[in-house]
Structure 1
Amino acid sequence: MSAQPVNPDLPPDHVTVFIDGVEMAAPKGSMIIHAADKAGIPIPRFCYHDKLSIAANCRMCLVDTEVGGRSAPKPSPACATPVMDGLKVFTRNDKALKAQRNVMEFLLINHPLDCPICDQGGECELQDLSLGYGRSVSRFSERKRVVADEDMGPLVATEMTRCIQCTRCVRFTAEVAGTYELGGMQRGENLQIGTYDGKPLTTELSGNVIDVCPVGALTNKVFRFRARPWELIAKESLGFHDALGSNLFLHLRRGDVMRAVPRDNEAVNECWLSDRDRYSHQGLYAEDRATVPLVRVASNGDAGDWREASWDEALAKAAQILRDNGADNLGVLVHPATSNEEGALLARLAEGLGTGNLDHRIAQRDLSDGATATQFATPVAEIEQADAIVIVGSNLRHEVPLLHQRVRKAWKQGARVHVVNPVDFEFAFDIASKAIVAPSKLADALGSTELARAVEGANHVAVILGAVAENGMHAAAIRAAAADFAKRANGTLNRIPQGANALGLSRLGVLPTTRDANAMLAEPRAAYVIHGIEPGLDFADQAAAMKALGGAQVVAFSHFACASTRRVADVILPIATLFENDATLANLDGREQRAVAAGKLPGDARQGWKVLRALGGELGLPGFEFTDLAGLRAGISARDVAVQAGAAPQAGQGGLELAVSQAIYRVDGLTRRAAALQAHPLTVGPRVTLHPQDASAAGLSEGAMAKVSNGSGTATLQVGISDSVAPGAAWVESGYGATAALGGGRVEVEAA
C-alpha cells in the first residue's frame, strides 16, 4: 500500500516539503534549491544557475535531509536532489554548515589571494560566501596551482588561476549560445577551463560568460581596471541596435558610462545581453563625436569649412533654412532608432512646415507596397513554444541575437526550423529543410510545395521575416508571399522591424504622405532635415543619398560630426544618443519601454527633444509650447497616416543578384566606433562572397581582389568563395564604406 500524502489537498503534481521547519508545496520533479529559492530561504551555490542545466559539481549547496524520521547518511546537493512528499531539509544545522564550510575550504585551496586587484572585487560570489562560510586560516600548506591564461578575444578578459571549475561558462556556450567553445581539459587538480584551440570566442553572446562567472576568472576586458562596483551608479536603459530592445543597466562613474549589464526581463531578453548591446557604449567617446553646434562657412573640398557656433546662432541658421525651403521643397529623413519623443516632434515639424516628405524607412529599397513596421504576431517569449519556425531572408543570429537564442530554445524543445535565404547563414541549431536561392526567387520558394509539406501537421508555425528580405529589391513580393504562406499554414507572420524604434515611429506617423525616403533622394529636394543619420552609411542607396543631400541645404541633428555629415550638412546640431537620453521606444512586440538619461552629454550637446523644441519655438510652429518632458509626453498620441506607396525599384539586367545582410557590429554609428567590437572575429571587413561556379566563371579565386559594380557605384572588394551562397548571387555585408557604394540590384563582378 502506498503512503498517504502529507497534505491531501495539494494538486496531484505537487508534494509537501519542510525546509528549516517551513512547510511548503513544491512541484514533483523539482529540486530542493528550487523550493528554497521560491520560499526565500538562502542556500549557497556556485555552479547552479536557473537558466542552465544542473551540474552539481561545486557541492556548495550541500544540505541535510530527512525522510520518514530517518536522516540521510551524508549531506545532499540541494541543486540535484529532487523533492519528495514529507521531505525535511535543514540548510543551517551543524551537519549542513560543516559540509558547506568544508567545501568552501577546498574551493579556496588554490584560489589566489588577489582580491585587491581583481575586477570582480566587490561583486564576487566567492568573496561574499567566503565571508559567511570561510575559515579564518587555511590548513593547506602546499603550493597553489597556477593556470596559464589564454586570449579569448577583445571582449572577455581571463585570469583562469581564479577559476573554481563551476562550469557555468561551459554550459552557457553549449546550451544557450550553442557554440560549444569552452570545455574542461585534463582531470583532478589539473582540470582547467578553456577553448582548447586557443582561439577567441566567436559567439555573439560571449559577454554573458562574465555575468555567469561567480569569481574573477572571466571579466569585462573593456571595463578592466577602470572602476570599482561601489563607485558606480546604475541607470536603466535599453539596447537600441536591434528591434528587441534588450533591457540593461548602464553603470556610470562621474557621469561616464563604464559598462552595460543585463537587466532581467523574461518577456524580452531574460537575463542575457548581446555583445553588441554590452560593448557599444565605447562609441560614445569617439574622436568625431559631435560636441558643439557647427555652421558651414564656405565650401573647401568635400567636407567644407566649418566653425563652431552658439546654440542661438546654429538654431537661427537652421530655422532660416527651413523657412526658405518649406512645403514640398523640404524632406525629413529620420533614423529608425529615433525615440518616440523625438519622432513625435519631427512629425509636428514636418506638418508645421507643410511637407509630406517624412520617412524613417531609410534602409529599405522596396516600399512599393507601402509597408510599415508591424509588431510580432507571436510575442518573443512565445516563439520558443512554436513547433515549426520558418526563417525568411534573415541572418537571424547577427540581426537579432537574442531572438535567435529563443529560436534555439524552441529547437531544443523539438521545434523544426526551416530556412528560405539567399545565403546558408550559420545558425546555432539544426535546420530541418532549407531553400538557398537568389533574392529574386525567395518569394517563389515560399510558395513551394516542399515548404508547405515541411510544416504540415505543425500546431504552431511562426514565420520570421528579416532584414535581407525587408531591405532587398524584392521586398514587397517577399512580404506578400510570406503573409500568404503564414495564412495557408495557419501560422503567424513576424516581420522584424528594421530599426530599434521602427514600430514606434510608424505608430506616431513618421511616414510619408507625399514622398518616401527613396523618392526624396531620387527626386532631390531643396533642403533636408536628417536626424540621427550617418549619411555615408545608413541609407539604402548611398550614391543617391550623398548626391541629393550634397546638392541641397541640410540641417543635421547628429551624434557624430563625421566626414560624410560634414560633406553634406550646412548646420550640425549635436544631440544625445539613447544612452544619454530620456526616451521611449517600442520593441518588436509593441512593448513601450523607457530609458533614462545616463551618461553625461559631451561638450555642448543636448537631448534631441530639447533641440527640436527650441527649433520649433524659433519657427513659431504649433505643438512646441510644452516646457518639460512630462508636457511633451502628455501630448504624444498615435497618428494614422495614409502612407504613400513608393515606386518599385529596378533591379537591372545581367550580372549577379546582390544579397545584402547587415554586418553585426556595423549597424549604426555607435557600434562602428566601438573599438572592441571592431576587433572582434565577427567583424570580417568588406568583402564579396560568391558561389564557386560564379567565381570560376569570373576567373576569381579565394582572397583575390574583384571590382564589383552596378548603376550605383563601384567597389573593390576581397573575394570569398563559398557554396553557402546561392548560385547567381553575390553576398556583401552593409555598414562598410566600401560596400555602401553598391546600393542594390544586380552587379557585375570581375578581377580588379
Structure 2
Amino acid sequence: MSAVPTNTAPDVVTIEIDGVPMTAPKGSMIIQAADKAGIPIPRFCYHEKLPIAANCRMCLVDVEKMPKPAPACATPVMEGMKVTTRTKRALDAQRNVMEFLLINHPLDCPICDQGGECELQDLSVGYGRSVSRYVDRKRVVPDEDLGPLVATEMTRCIQCTRCVRFTAEVAGTYELGGMSRGENLQIGTYDGKPLMTELSGNVIDVCPVGALTNKVFRFRARAWELIARESIGYHDALGSNLYLHARRGEILRTVPRDNEAVNECWLSDRDRYSHEGLYAADRATRPLVREGEAWREASWDEALAAAAKLLKDAGQSVGVLAHPATSNEEGALLARLATGIGTGNIDHRLKATDFADAAFAEPFAAPSAQLERADVVVLVGCNLRHEVPLLHHRVHEAAKRGAKVYTINPVDFATTFAVAGKRIVAPSKLPAAFAALAHAAGAALPSGVSAESGDDVAAAVHRNASEALKAADNAYVVLGEVAENHPQASWLRATARALAAATGAKLARLPQGANAIGLARHGVRPAAGGLDAAAMLAQAQSAYVLYGVEPRYDFAHGAAALKAMAGAKVVAFAAYASEDLKQVAQVILPIGLLPEIEATLTNLDGTDQATRAGGKLPGEARAGWKVLRALGGALALPGFAFTDIDGLRAGLAAEAPANGSGLAAAPAAGEGFERVVTTPIYRGDAVLRRAAALNAHPLSTGARIVLHPEDAQARGLVDGAIAKVGDGIGSAALPVALDARVARGAAWIENGWDATAPMSPTAGLAVVGA
C-alpha cells in the first residue's frame, strides 16, 4: 500500500491536480497551485499581479464533489481537494466559454497588430471550433482616444477587465471602467479623456487581445519579425529590466522583462516609449569638426586628432562633465582621461547646487523592493511619482497595506495614495521644517541646523510622523530631486541621517541620474583639489569635455553653462548634434546611446546591471568606450591599452566615495518668489526630449509658472495669463497656471524647457503681468 502524503504544516493544505499530489498555501487559488506545478489551465481575466475578477470563466475545472465546473482562479484550495483539468466536462465548459467569447469578436487576425502574440488567438486554436455557429451581425464598439501612447480597437475587447483592475489597483488612478451591461458592456474612460497615469503602457501588456495596443509601434512590424535583446531603463535610477525588440537593427518596441527585485513585470511609459527619440533628425552620425563658424564632416582620425590637440593645448585647465546616465565603462575611461591629462576637474552632478558636504549618490539602506512592505514612509523634497514611477508604485502598494506616508514638500505633488500628514512650505523653509520633524523624533541635529517653531498644525504633523517612525519596524526616509538639488541640500542630508539614526529608519536618497552611483564609484568625481560641476562653470576653464550633455537642459542653470563654455574649447561626445552644442563645441564625436551598446549601470540598490546592444549604431557613430579608448591612445595616456570591452572591464575597480559632513552657509533672505525646480517627467535627458509621443502626452505641460491662487490674485494674474518672470539673471514670458498645491510665496517652474533655461534655480523671482 503506497504512503499517503500527510500535511503537518499549519499554513498549507495537501491537494491533488490531475493526479499530481502537492501542497499549496491556505487561501490560495487552484490556478496558482496549478501554475506552480506547471499544469496548464487556460485563462483570460486572471493575472497574477491583479485582483481576482473571475469574469471570463475560461479556467473552469472539475473539482471532486462539486456539482458543476468551478473557476480555478476563484476557488480556494482545501485540504484533500482533488482537481482535474482535462475531463470531458471541464473541456466542454472551456470550449463553450471560448465559443461565447468569439461570438462578437471580429475576424481580423490578419490585420490585427496583436496577431502572433494574442492570448485569445492562441487559446482559440486549442479550445475553439473551426467554424462559428453564430450567424447574426456582430456588435461594434466605438473607439476612444486614450492619448498618444495607447491605441484602441474596443470591438475586440472580451471584457476581461484586466486593464480596469490595472488602472485601479496598480496605477491607482481608476481611469478605466465598465459602462452599461450585458452585450452593451463597454470598457472606457467614461469622460473621454486620455490616460494620465505614467504607467499607462502596461494596459497593453495585460490585455489578452488586440483591444489595447502600442500606438507608437502599431503596424510597424509583426511579432515574428522582431529580435529581443535584454536591456535596462536608463531614465531613472531604478534600472527597470526590459527587452528591446528590433528589426534589422532598428529598435521598434520596448517591453518589460520580469524582475521581482526591480520592476516586477511593469514598465513606466518613460522607459517604454523613449526609443522613439533614438532616431531624431539631429542624431550625430559622423564626426564633426568646426572651422571658423562652419561645421564639416571629418574622418574619425581627423576628429580624434583635433580633439587630442585641443586637450593638449588646454593643459590642466580642462573640465570633464558627464551626464549622470553615462555607463560605468565610459565613466571609468573618462576618469582615466582626466587623470592622464592632469586635471582633477571631473563631475557628473550637473544639477546640484550645494556641494558643501561633498555628497555623492549612495545605494538605498535596504532593497527598494522592501518599500512595498514599509510601515512608514517620509518623502522629503520628492515628486516620487514623476522621478521614479515604479518606486512610487511600491509606496502605493505599501499604503494599500496600511502604511503611513508623510510628505514635506514645496508643492503637494500628486500621489495615488492618501498621505497621513503633510507640510507644504516654501523651498527656503524646507530644511527647518524637516529639522522640526527630526527634532520631534529625538534626533541629534547637526550643529548649525535649526528647527522651525511652527504652528499647532505643523507640530501635530511632526509629532504624528515622529511617533509613527519610532514605532515602525520598517520605515523609510526618502530624499528626492528637490531635496538633493536644494541650495541647502547638505542640511537636508545631514538631518535625514540624524533622523534615520534616531528612529532606525532606512535612508533612501534618490540618485540624480540613472547611473549616479556607478559614476561616483568609478571615479567621475573631483580629485583632490579638483573643481565640482558648479565650480567648473563659475571658474571658466580653457577647455571642456562634455559627455552626453546638452548644456542648455542638463545643468542646474543652462544659460550659465552656455555662457561659461562660449569662450572655451569644447570636445563633445554626443549622440545628437544639437544647435546649442554646435554653438559651443569645436569637435563633436558621435557615440551610441545605451540601447545601442554593451554596458553596465548601477541602480539605486547598488546593483550592477548589464545591457546588450539592441539596435545598430547610426552611420559612423561608435560605442563611447571605443571612442574614449581611441582618444586615450591618440594622447598616449596609460590605461587605454585594452582591445575589447572584456579587457576594459577587467581593469575596472569600483570604490564608493565617502560623503562629507560640511554644511552650506545659510542663504540671505531674498525678495520675490522662491523658485521650485523640478525636471519634467518626459524631458529628463536628450532621448526623452526627442520622443515625440511622450512630449505630446498631457503630463508634458510645457514651460509655465505655477502659482498659488492667492499669490496670483495679489498680482492680478489669472489662469492662462502670460507673466513676465525674471530673477536679475534671466527672464521669460510664461503662461500662468493656478494650483493651490503650491506653497505660498513659491513659484513652480520646471527646467528642461527652452523658455526656462535663462533663469537661475536659486535666485528670487519677480513676477508681473505681461
TM-score, normalization: structure 2?
0.94
- My pick for the range that moved more, 118-127 or 464-473, is 464-473
Q: Which residue of 2 aligns with 1:453?
A: 464
Mapped to 1, the partners of 2:559 and 2:659 lie a distance apart of 25
Q: Which residue of 2 aligns with 1:294?
A: 288
Q: Which residue of 2 aligns with 1:690?
A: 707
Mapped to 2, the partners of 1:502 and 1:267 lie a distance apart of 20
Q: Does 1:307 align with 2:296?
A: yes
Deviation per CA, 1:154-187: give whole Å up to 9, x if none: 0000000000000000000000000000000000
Mapped to 2, the partners of 1:636 and 1:209 lie a distance apart of 41
Mapped to 2, the partners of 1:524 and 1:535 lie a distance apart of 14
Change (3 A) 1:348 1:244: same
Map residues 529-544 of structure 1 onto 2, 5 A cutoff.
529-544=545-560
Q: Which residue of 1 aligns with 2:455?
A: none
Q: Which residue of 1 aligns with 2:744?
A: 727
Q: Which residue of 1 aligns with 2:387?
A: 399
Mapped to 2, the partners of 1:247 and 1:432 lie a distance apart of 32
Q: Which residue of 1 aligns with 2:226?
A: 232
Question: Is there any run of 5+ residues in structure 1 with no aligned partner, and where?
Answer: 300-304
Mapped to 2, the partners of 1:652 and 1:670 lie a distance apart of 38
Q: Does 1:320 align with 2:309?
A: yes
The alpha carbon displacement at 1:475 in A equals 1.3
Q: Does 1:330 align with 2:330?
A: no
Mapped to 2, the partners of 1:642 and 1:459 lie a distance apart of 28
> Tell me, what secondary structure is at the counterpart of 2:562?
helix
| Counterpart among 136, 142, 149 of residue 142 in structure 1 | 136
Q: Which residue of 2 aligns with 1:748?
A: 766
| Counterpart among 713, 717, 731 of residue 700 in structure 1 | 717
> Tell me, what secondary structure is at the counterpart of 1:252?
strand
1:724 partner letter: R
Q: Which residue of 1 aligns with 2:616?
A: 600
Map residues 97-176 of structure 1 onto 2, 5 A cutoff.
97-176=91-170
TM-score, normalization: structure 1?
0.96
Q: Which residue of 1 aligns with 2:571?
A: 555
Do the aligned partners of 1:244 and 1:500 also contact (CA within 8 Å) in 2?
Answer: yes
1:343 partner letter: G
Q: Which residue of 2 aligns with 1:32?
A: 30
Change (3 A) 1:471 1:727: same
Mapped to 2, the partners of 1:107 and 1:64 lie a distance apart of 21
> Tell me, what secondary structure is at the counterpart of 1:435?
strand
Q: Which residue of 1 aligns with 2:86?
A: 92
Q: Which residue of 2 aligns with 1:621?
A: 637
The alpha carbon displacement at 1:518 in A equals 0.2
Deviation per CA, 1:322-375: give whole Å up to 9, x if none: 111122x11000000000000000000000111000000011111111110010
Mapped to 1, the partners of 2:357 and 2:751 lie a distance apart of 24
Q: Does 1:572 align with 2:588?
A: yes
Mapped to 1, the partners of 2:337 and 2:344 lie a distance apart of 11
Do the aligned partners of 2:16 and 2:22 also contact (CA within 8 Å) in 1?
Answer: yes
- My pick for the range that moved more, 75-84 or 474-483, is 474-483
Mapped to 2, the partners of 1:9 and 1:159 lie a distance apart of 49
Q: Which residue of 2 aligns with 1:243?
A: 237
| Counterpart among 153, 172, 178 of residue 178 in structure 1 | 172
Do the aligned partners of 2:146 and 2:192 also contact (CA within 8 Å) in 1?
Answer: yes
Q: Which residue of 1 aligns with 2:407?
A: 419
Deviation per CA, 1:482-517: give whole Å up to 9, x if none: 222222222111000000000000111210121000
Mapped to 1, the partners of 2:319 and 2:161 lie a distance apart of 55
| Counterpart among 12, 36, 39 of residue 10 in structure 2 | 12
Q: Does 1:281 align with 2:275?
A: yes
Map residues 503-542 of structure 1 onto 2, 5 A cutoff.
503-513=517-527, 514-542=530-558
The alpha carbon displacement at 1:408 in A equals 0.1
| Counterpart among 458, 469, 485 of residue 499 in structure 2 | 485
| Counterpart among 654, 668, 681 of residue 685 in structure 2 | 668
The alpha carbon displacement at 1:434 in A equals 0.3
Percent of aligned pairs sharing the same letter: 67
Mapped to 1, the partners of 2:211 and 2:488 lie a distance apart of 49
The alpha carbon displacement at 1:640 in A equals 6.0
Map residues 646-665 of structure 1 onto 2, 5 A cutoff.
653-665=670-682
Mapped to 2, the partners of 1:542 and 1:205 lie a distance apart of 30
The alpha carbon displacement at 1:8 in A equals 3.4
Mapped to 2, the partners of 1:635 and 1:80 lie a distance apart of 55
Q: Which residue of 2 aligns with 1:494?
A: 508
Do the aligned partners of 2:595 and 2:613 also contact (CA within 8 Å) in 1?
Answer: yes
Tell me the matched-pair count: 738
Mapped to 2, the partners of 1:648 and 1:335 lie a distance apart of 27
> Tell me, what secondary structure is at the counterpart of 2:554?
coil
2:598 partner letter: D
Mapped to 2, the partners of 1:53 and 1:175 lie a distance apart of 8
Do the aligned partners of 1:392 and 1:420 also contact (CA within 8 Å) in 2?
Answer: yes
Do the aligned partners of 2:7 and 2:14 also contact (CA within 8 Å) in 1?
Answer: no
Map residues 351-362 of structure 1 onto 2, 5 A cutoff.
351-362=339-350
The alpha carbon displacement at 1:648 in A equals 5.8
The alpha carbon displacement at 1:308 in A equals 0.5
Do the aligned partners of 1:283 and 1:671 also contact (CA within 8 Å) in 2?
Answer: yes
Do the aligned partners of 2:7 and 2:13 also contact (CA within 8 Å) in 1?
Answer: no
- My pick for the range that moved more, 28-37 or 706-715, is 706-715
Cα-Cα RMSD: 1.4
Question: Is there any run of 5+ residues in structure 2 with no aligned partner, and where?
Answer: 441-460
The alpha carbon displacement at 1:646 in A equals 10
Mapped to 1, the partners of 2:759 and 2:724 lie a distance apart of 11
The alpha carbon displacement at 1:707 in A equals 1.3
- My pick for the range that moved more, 55-64 or 8-17, is 8-17
> Tell me, what secondary structure is at the counterpart of 2:362?
coil
Q: Which residue of 1 aligns with 2:456?
A: none
Mapped to 2, the partners of 1:201 and 1:446 lie a distance apart of 35
Change (3 A) 1:627 1:685: same
Do the aligned partners of 1:394 and 1:465 also contact (CA within 8 Å) in 2?
Answer: yes
2:487 partner letter: M
Q: Does 1:473 align with 2:491?
A: no
Do the aligned partners of 1:519 and 1:646 also contact (CA within 8 Å) in 2?
Answer: no
Do the aligned partners of 1:6 and 1:85 also contact (CA within 8 Å) in 2?
Answer: no
The alpha carbon displacement at 1:649 in A equals 9.2
- My pick for the range that moved more, 437-446 or 690-699, is 690-699
The alpha carbon displacement at 1:472 in A equals 2.1
Mapped to 2, the partners of 1:451 and 1:371 lie a distance apart of 27
Do the aligned partners of 1:443 and 1:482 also contact (CA within 8 Å) in 2?
Answer: no
The alpha carbon displacement at 1:452 in A equals 4.2
Do the aligned partners of 2:14 and 2:24 also contact (CA within 8 Å) in 1?
Answer: yes
Change (3 A) 1:93 1:641: closer
Q: Which residue of 2 aligns with 1:302?
A: none
Q: Which residue of 2 aligns with 1:42?
A: 40
Mapped to 2, the partners of 1:493 and 1:650 lie a distance apart of 26
- My pick for the range that moved more, 134-143 or 116-125, is 134-143
> Tell me, what secondary structure is at the counterpart of 1:116?
coil
Do the aligned partners of 2:572 and 2:589 also contact (CA within 8 Å) in 1?
Answer: yes
Mapped to 2, the partners of 1:546 and 1:173 lie a distance apart of 43
> Tell me, what secondary structure is at the counterpart of 1:115?
coil
Change (3 A) 1:597 1:649: farther
> Tell me, what secondary structure is at the counterpart of 1:512?
coil
Change (3 A) 1:691 1:276: same
| Counterpart among 257, 265, 268 of residue 263 in structure 1 | 257
Do the aligned partners of 2:373 and 2:398 also contact (CA within 8 Å) in 1?
Answer: yes
Change (3 A) 1:581 1:649: farther
Q: Which residue of 1 aligns with 2:449?
A: none
